[in-house]
Every structure is written in structure tokens, then in C-alpha cells.
A and B are shown apart, each in its own frame.
Chain A
Amino acid sequence: DVKVTQSSRYLVKRTGEKVFLECVQDMDHENMFWYRQDPGLGLRLIYFSYDVKMKEKGDIPEGYSVSREKKERFSLILESASTNQTSMYLCASSFYRGETQYFGPGTRLLVL
């Protein structure tokens, strides 16, 4: 079974802090994704990566950056957290583009 793990289930940070969210997958998938999930808005794509050291902006990249130094690890960085970044963050990976994505359990981030 594909396993996608995220470093924290719950996180509380203060405005202005730098926040790192880590995601690791164990199935040698090329493709990795970061989404945020807000009630009534579904999933919105923040960034994705189709290869090591490669990154592409999704629909809402402002205020976020990513890092993919190793194939299995994709990190989301909030350079200076703001209260409007309070959300559920979901990481996913896939073998083929446009095909089934496998999700981690999510990180619920609260920015005070």
C-alpha cells in the first residue's frame, strides 16, 4: 500500500513565524502535490512537483514556497505565517500525471 505521511497532524503557530510542513511518500512516485482544504472551497492546489528539484505553482501559491530535494520528500514552507493561512493542508503523490493521487492524513494549522 502507498503510504504518505505528514510531519504533524495539528500545529499552532504565531503570526510572522516561518512554518515547515513535511511530506514523505514511500512508493517512489514522481509527482507530489500540496493542497489546502477550506470548508465549501474543496481542495485548492498550492504547488506541485513532477521531479526532484522541480516545482510548479498551482492556483494559490502566494505566501507559500516548496522544496523537493529528494524524490520521496516534498516540503511546504510558509515564509511568514498569517491568520488567513489557518487551514487544513493535504499532501498527495501519484505515479502517473492526471491519475490516482494518494493523500496523507493532513495537517490542521492554526495561525494565531
Chain B
Amino acid sequence: AQSVTQLDSQVPVFEEAPVELRCNYSSSVSVYLFWYVQYPNQGLQLLLKYLSGSTLVESINGFEAEFNKSQTSFHLRKPSVHISDTAEYFCAVSDALDSNYQLIWGAGTKLIIKP
């Protein structure tokens, strides 16, 4: 069965510094990959996704993630973070071998921006 690992539960970083949030999944046969963001006291919202095509996907607020099939990873990066990026970030994967096509979720990574 598919599983998703977000190795870091918290990532503290100074404002304007680069950040990488790591996501690894267990099976690479055929997958869709997602990053969601949850701001304090809000529901989750889609940040970016990979379905097919270019392995590098970008969000409108400067985040990017790269699908690496050999490493079974989909790490999220931003070259310069802002205080407004403070949130919890969730990686999710859906597996074409799962007939229900459920999303399998990582445990989340809290991004803490230090001024």
C-alpha cells in the first residue's frame, strides 16, 4: 500500500532564507502528487500538483516542487520565504493501483518563519 513520509515535523527558517520541505512516497508506478497548505485556523488549500508532463511544477506564490521518480520524492522549495508563509504543509499522493484513487496524506510539516 502507498505511504507518504514527511520527515520533518517542523522546519524553522529565517525570513528571506530558502526552504525545502521533504516528501517521499513508497510506490512510483503511477502517481499524482500534491502539496496542500493550511494557514492557522483554516482548512487545507491546494498549493500545487503534479499529474503528468513537466516534472517541475510551480505555485502562484513562489513555491515549486519537483517530481523525482527514481527517488520517489516530491520536495517543496521556495528560494526566499516570507512571514506570510507560516503554515502547515501537507504532501499527498494518489496511486493509480488503488481502485478508489484515495489521497494518502503525509503527517504534515510546520513551517516556522523567524523574523
Contact = CB atoms under 8 A, between A and B. Distances in A.
B9 interface: yes
Contacts of A4: 43
Interface string B1-44: 00000100100000000000000000000001010100000111
Contacts, number: 54
A58 B102 CA distance: 9
A86 interface: no
Given A41-B107, A42-B90, A105 B42 contact: yes
Interface of B: 6, 9, 32, 34, 36, 42-46, 49, 51, 90, 94-96, 98, 100-103, 105-108
Interface secondary structure of B, over-half rule: loop
Chain A interface size, as a band, is 20 to 34
A88 to B, nearest CB: 9
- What are the nearest 4 A-B pairs in CB distance? A98-B101, A98-B94, A97-B101, A103-B43
Given A40-B9, A42-B90, A42-B108, A98 B103 contact: yes
A78 interface: no
Contact of B106 (A42, A56, A90): A42
A100 B49 contact: yes
Contact of B34 (A45, A48, A97, A100): A100
B102 A98 contact: yes
Contacts of B45: 103
A25 to B, nearest CB: 12
Most chain-A CB neighbours within 10 Å: which of B9, B36, B100?
B100
B46 A40 contact: no
B42 A99 contact: no
